[in-house]
Amino acid sequence: MAAAAAEAASRRLGAALRGISGAWYGRHMAAAERAIRTRLPLVDLVLEVRDARVPASSAFEPLRRRSPLEPDGRQVVVLNKADLADPSETEKWMTYMEKQRTCPCITVNSHSRESIKELLNAVRSRIREIKRGESDCTGTVLLVGIPNVGKSAIVNAMHQIGRIGAAEKGKLKHAIVSSHPGETRDISGYKVASHPNIYVLDTPGVLSPRFANDDSGPRLALTGAIKGSLLDEYDIAQFLLAVVNSREEYRRWENLNGAGDTNSNDNANTSRSHSKKRQYVSDHTQVSVSKGLELNVL
């Protein structure tokens, strides 16, 4: 019954999205898509950032519509916001993507220095492989993805960790990071490493006016790729509650008041939930999905 309610809420939100018919895809997004397409063949590596909670729905359409990049191994999928996704389901996604053999896949939490270091190391070694035997050891990386998946947060963190040498200190640039989608309007370059020199181009998020299937739109609205102001927040909240109810996730919330709870693990979870609540008050884009929104896609 709870699953049926989730489906009904998803259908309602899907109908609302059809009602606004791709209103998020404005002129700036169309221009950004053209600019990204022009740069795709010119860079050494493309990092496609997706939301780890919805790895299929958050795929970047312009990459699917062009000829595959994998023959020269220039594409890497980055599942960001891994801290908000269920680790076991992320694991299943990684296995699935490995089996597909299209391109390597890395999970990232851009708020974690360790996680960004791992990403930076992976990018470094990929660029070294690509540039092997070439005298020019400067690598360029294009960071692409739908809105709000954390591209700018990743580029800021990489730039901060990777800037090398006293001369470059104080020249730190900052990409705009916001919980609202569509804040990045231009393509900007950031140096993230020396030896080899690596420059990352942060790009505006692009979300196709049409979705791959009926379920994708509601999932993307819930996780923040579509401006909440375009929709009735009541519909989004209803969908979230229906999804949570269908997973029986709410049972874990019974302990939130802390009364009578003596299990130390539960206490740890409870205090984490409290601090999350404080940090991201009223931001539905930071919803942590303990059971996947789209594992049924596999």
Ligand X SMILES: Nc1nc2c(ncn2[C@@H]2O[C@H](COP(=O)(O)OP(=O)(O)OP(=O)(O)O)[C@@H](O)[C@H]2O)c(=O)[nH]1
Specify the residue, 263 or 275, whose C-beta has the smaller distance to ligand X. 275
Residue 269 labeled ligand binder: no
177 residue type, one letter: V
Residue 80 labeled ligand binder: yes
Between CA 156 and CA 18 the distance in angstroms is 35
Helix (H, G, I), strand (E, B) or coil at 85: strand
Specify the residue, 9 or 156, whose C-beta has the smaller distance to ligand X. 156
Indicate left, alpha or beta for 174 from its phi (over 0: left) and psi (-120 to 50: alpha): beta
226 scored as a contact of ligand X (CB under 6 A): no
Tokens coding 23: 């209103």
Between CA 181 and CA 52 the distance in angstroms is 17
Between CA 296 and CA 298 the distance in angstroms is 5
Specify the residue, 2 or 40, whose C-beta has the smaller distance to ligand X. 40
Specify the residue, 176 or 237, whose C-beta has the smaller distance to ligand X. 176
SS3 of 34-74: HHHHHHHHHCCEEEEEEECCCCCCCCCHHHHHCCCCHHHCC
* Least distance CB 230 / ligand X (angstroms): 14
Residue 282 labeled ligand binder: no
Between CA 177 and CA 143 the distance in angstroms is 14
Residue 275 labeled ligand binder: no
Q: Residue 197 belongs to what H/E stretch?
A: strand 197-202
118 scored as a contact of ligand X (CB under 6 A): no
184 scored as a contact of ligand X (CB under 6 A): yes
Helix (H, G, I), strand (E, B) or coil at 263: coil
Specify the residue, 16 or 144, whose C-beta has the smaller distance to ligand X. 144
205 scored as a contact of ligand X (CB under 6 A): yes
| Contact letters for ligand X, residues 247-276 (x by CB under 6 A) | ------------------------------
Between CA 159 and CA 45 the distance in angstroms is 17
182 scored as a contact of ligand X (CB under 6 A): yes
Residue 245 labeled ligand binder: no
The values of phi and psi at residue 106, to 5°, are -130, 140
| Nearest of 213, 214, 218, 156 to residue 184 by alpha carbon | 156
* Least distance CB 111 / ligand X (angstroms): 5
Residue 205 labeled ligand binder: yes
Residue 82 labeled ligand binder: yes
Specify the residue, 50 or 126, whose C-beta has the smaller distance to ligand X. 50
* Least distance CB 51 / ligand X (angstroms): 9
| Contact letters for ligand X, residues 70-109 (x by CB under 6 A) | ----------xx-xx------------------------x
Q: Please identify which residue in 178, 263, 267, 271 interacts with ligand X, judged by CB under 6 A.
A: 178
Between CA 219 and CA 215 the distance in angstroms is 7
Annotated binding site for GTP: 80-83, 109-110, 205
Q: Which residues bind ligand X (CB under 6 A)?
A: 80-81, 83-84, 109-111, 145, 147-153, 177-179, 181-184, 204-205, 286
Annotated binding site: 80-83, 109-110, 205
